[in-house]
Chain A
Amino acid sequence: MSLLQVRDLKVSFKTPDGVVNAVAGVSFDLKAGETLAIVGESGSGKSVSNLAYMGLLPTAKTTITGSVILKTDAGEVDLIGLPNEEMRKIRGKDIAMIFQDPMSALHPYYTIGDQLIEAHQVHNEVDKSVSRDRAIELLSLVGVADPAERLKAYPHQFSGGMRQRVMIAMALMNNPKVLIADEPTTALDVTVQAQILKLLSDLQKKFAMAVILITHDLGVVAGSADRVNVMYGGRLVESAEVNALYKKPMMPYTVGLLDSIPRMDQGHGKRLRAIPGQPPSLITLGQGCAFAARCDRKAELPDGTCDTNPELKAVESGHLVRCHLYDRKAASK
Chain B
Amino acid sequence: MNGLLAYISRRLGLTLLILLAVSFTVYLIFALLPYDPASLTCGKSCNDPGIIEANRHRLGYDKPFFEQYWIFIVGLFAGRDFGEGAAALHCAAPSFGYSFQQHACVTDLIFDALPVTLSLAIGSLILWLIVGVGLGIVAARFRGKIWDTLSTAFVLVGTSLPTFLTGLMLIVFLVIKLDWSPFPAGGYTAPDEDIVGWFLSMVLPWVTLAFAYAAIYTRFVRSQIIEISTEDYIRTARAKGLSDGIILGKHTMRAALAPIVTMAGLDFAGLLGGAILTEAVFNLPGMGRLSLNAVVDIDLPVIVGTTIFAAAIVVIMNAILDIVYAFIDPRVRV
Contacts and interface: CB of A to CB of B under 8 A. Distances in A.
A–B interface present (Cβ within 8 A):
yes
Interface of A: 54-56, 60, 84-85, 88-93, 96-97, 99, 101, 104-111, 118-119, 122-123, 154, 156, 167, 170
Nearest to A94: B241
B144 interface: yes
Range of interface residues on B (Cβ < 8 Å): 20 to 34
A89 B243 CA distance: 9
A89 B244 CA distance: 12
B239 A91 contact: yes
A291 B85 CA distance: 100
B236 A99 contact: yes
B241 A108 contact: no
B328 A109 contact: yes
Interface string B233-276: 10111111111101000010011000000000000000000000
Given A91-B240, A167-B236, 13 more contacts: A56-B239, A89-B241, A91-B239, A104-B233, A105-B235, A107-B251, A109-B255, A118-B240, A122-B246, A154-B330, A154-B331, A156-B330, A170-B240
Contacts of B231: 104
**B contact face: mostly helix, strand, loop, or mixed:** helix
Nearest to B332: A156
B331 A108 contact: yes
Given A104-B231, A108-B233, A88 B328 contact: no
Contacts of A118: 240, 242
A101 B233 CA distance: 10
Given A110-B254, A154-B331, A156-B331, A105 B236 contact: yes
Interface string B288-317: 000000000000000000000000000000
Interface in B196-246: 231-233, 235-244, 246
A272 to B, nearest CB: 33
Contact of B237 (A54, A55, A107): A107
B238 A106 contact: no
B241 A93 contact: yes
A91 B246 CA distance: 15
Given A101-B232, A104-B233, A122 B238 contact: no
A56 B235 contact: yes
Given A60-B143, A60-B144, A154-B330, A107 B240 contact: no
A92 B241 contact: yes
9 contacts: A92-B242, A93-B241, A105-B235, A105-B236, A107-B233, A108-B329, A108-B331, A154-B330, A170-B240
Contacts of A106: 233, 236
A215 B208 CA distance: 57
Contacts of A170: 236, 240
Nearest to A109: B254
Given A108-B331, A109-B254, A156-B330, A99 B232 contact: yes
Contact of A84 (B239, B244, B330): B244
